[in-house]
Structure 1
Amino acid sequence: MSNAYQRPAFRHLSEATTQDMAEIFDHYHGLRNGIADHVLMMLKLLSGERLGFPVDRLEHSMQSAAFALRDGADEETVVCALLHDIGDNIAPDNHGAFAAEILRPWVSADNYWIVRNHNDFVGRHYFAKIGRDPDLRERHREHPAFEKACRFCDDWDAAAFDPNFDTPPLEFFEPMVRRVFSGEPWAHAEKGVAGH
């Protein structure tokens, strides 16, 4: 018996057999097992280019995570701080939503919402300088994670541009990333998805 790939016979998804779908989902489970590797690779792509900032975006991300860790944040939140700007290269105008959707199956509703909306919050520190409303975060005032988002953005994100900061290397954070992405996806689903 050969282990050679045999192309399924369906041409429309509705024609797929139960066996076809079982094999397809086996492949998806394999992809899921490699998510941490892909996320770390995407994070490394933030290295090098500073885009006018005092540090590159990888350094900024690691500093944000280091501040979160220093302040006693749980591991999931530290990983969210590390990955909050991971979408910069692909989705510069909606990078928070991009990063949040990658994280969504693996993190709490609050952390998903914070990453998704972090630009509205960190804008307090620079929006006025580019002609935008620095109080944009106020539209989220009634959200239960509002204060957590303020801390995330004011104490960790906005503060993470110090070229002299003793930033831990990416290898320090890698086991945390692997643990977050090794959990059961949608484990937080029973808590609901944060509102937009």
Structure 2
Amino acid sequence: MPTVSFTRMADGTKEDYDLLEPYAAEFCAGLPDRILAAVRELDGPAGGFLLTRYEHSLQTATRALHDGRDHEYVVMSLVHDIGDNLAPHTHSEMIGAVLRPFVRPELVWIARHHGLFQTYYYAHFRGRTATRGTPTGTTSGLTPACPGATATTRRASTRSIRRCRSRRSSRWCTRCSASRATCSSDPIQ
């Protein structure tokens, strides 16, 4: 197999980079398979949860599909936790970067911030504010501005993380709104 002539990128020639181009294209073409493999790798110990991360990913994508979401949303739902194995503290940012070239900006925003939103249910147990998910006294908000988001989409995003009060649980519900006292939808973990 031919190789490039350089050991430092600054020393590469046009011919070197022409040689690399088809290899890069082939590597990129394999990305969907690598992403699906990363989803399958989530099928490990549940770590105290009722579901493995793999089962959670399938559940999330299935619920998005049953909710009539488009294919980009379903894919984002399926792969939203694939960064957990490599970046447990920043997996949301990681999946945002992975999805950015392939889905619309609002879905990148949802994926990038889903870890922050889930702190709504446990932050107060860790000395953080329940509405912010950050250490008490900081100014970072729970709902950072989504590029291109309107006030309506930000309100909808906030409503989607409210607890399902009819179930009196800490599970997530995508149908509760701030003004409703009850919800008939199934809560999402």
CA distance in 2, matches of 1:128, 1:82: 28
1:27 counterpart letter in structure 2: Y
1:128, distance to aligned residue in structure 2 (A): 2.2
2:173 corresponding residue in structure 1? 155
CA distance in 2, matches of 1:43, 1:151: 28
Note if 1:97 corresponds to 2:90. no
Q: 1:107 to 1:80 in 2, by over 3 A?
A: same
**What TM-score, normalized to structure 2?**
0.73
1:166 corresponding residue in structure 2? none
| Residue aligned with 1:87, SS | helix
CA distance in 1, matches of 2:6, 2:160: 48
1:146 corresponding residue in structure 2? 154
Residue deviations 1:70-125 (CA, integer Å, cap 9, x gap): 11111101111111111111111111011111111111111111111111212222
Note if 1:46 corresponds to 2:33. no
Contact 2:143 2:158 in 1 (8 A): no
| Identical counterparts, % of pairs | 30
How many residues are paired up? 156
Unaligned runs of 5+ in 2: 134-140, 162-171, 175-185
1:11, distance to aligned residue in structure 2 (A): 2.8
Contact 1:68 1:152 in 2 (8 A): no
Following superposition of structure 1 onto structure 2, how do residues 33-182 of structure 1 map, counting pairs within 5 Å? 33-136=29-132, 138-140=141-143, 142-143=145-146, 144=149, 145-147=153-155, 149-150=157-158, 154-155=172-173, 159-161=187-189
The structure whose residues are more often helix, as a share, is 1
Unaligned runs of 5+ in 1: 162-196
CA distance in 2, matches of 1:14, 1:99: 30
CA distance in 1, matches of 2:65, 2:160: 11
User: Relative contact order (alpha carbons < 8 A, sep ≥ 6): 1 or 2 greater?
Assistant: 1
| Residue aligned with 1:136, SS | coil
1:191 corresponding residue in structure 2? none
CA distance in 2, matches of 1:68, 1:160: 11
Q: 1:106 to 1:134 in 2, by over 3 A?
A: same
**What TM-score, normalized to structure 1?**
0.71
RMSD: 2.3
1:15 counterpart letter in structure 2: D
CA distance in 2, matches of 1:33, 1:73: 26
